[in-house]
Amino acid sequence: MSGGKVLATGSRRVHNRASRALRMAAQSLRKSPSYLGAFYRRMRSTLGPAKATTATAHQRATMLYHRVQEQTPSRERGAEAYRHKDHERQLRQLRKQAQHLGFALVPQTGH
């Protein structure tokens, strides 16, 4: 076996000015009380700072693209909206996993 060598780890260096601007904007969301700020913090906790920056920049680019294509004004959703959406996503994931294992999730009453 030949000794394979890892050429690069993490995110690659980018020379595109738009990409660089989106990454800078993503990094500035670290303490933002916005929807994207909550997304960045969740990604940072699971993926690490470099990949979280890339994921948030991609999310932002997608939002900008759709805003330009559909010519719609931006609507700001707060971190609370993101937390609610994330909670719903986690519940769906748990239900699916429980069903796969042969269980059923039943919500607790009185909470």
d(CA 20, CA 53): 11
State residue 82's pLDDT score.
Answer: 81
State residue 78's pLDDT score.
Answer: 76
State residue 98's pLDDT score.
Answer: 93
State residue 3's pLDDT score.
Answer: 63
State residue 6's pLDDT score.
Answer: 67
Q: Give the other-Cβ count within 10 Å of 107's Cβ.
A: 6
Q: Per-residue pLDDT for the chain (111 aa), expressed as one digit of tens each?
A: 556 676 666 666 768 888 899 999 999 988 888 888 989 999 999 999 999 999 999 999 998 898 888 887 777 777 788 888 889 999 999 999 999 999 988 888 876
Domain boundaries, the chain: 17-78
State residue 15's pLDDT score.
Answer: 80
Q: Tell me which H or E stretch contains 87.
A: helix 79-100
State residue 40's pLDDT score.
Answer: 93
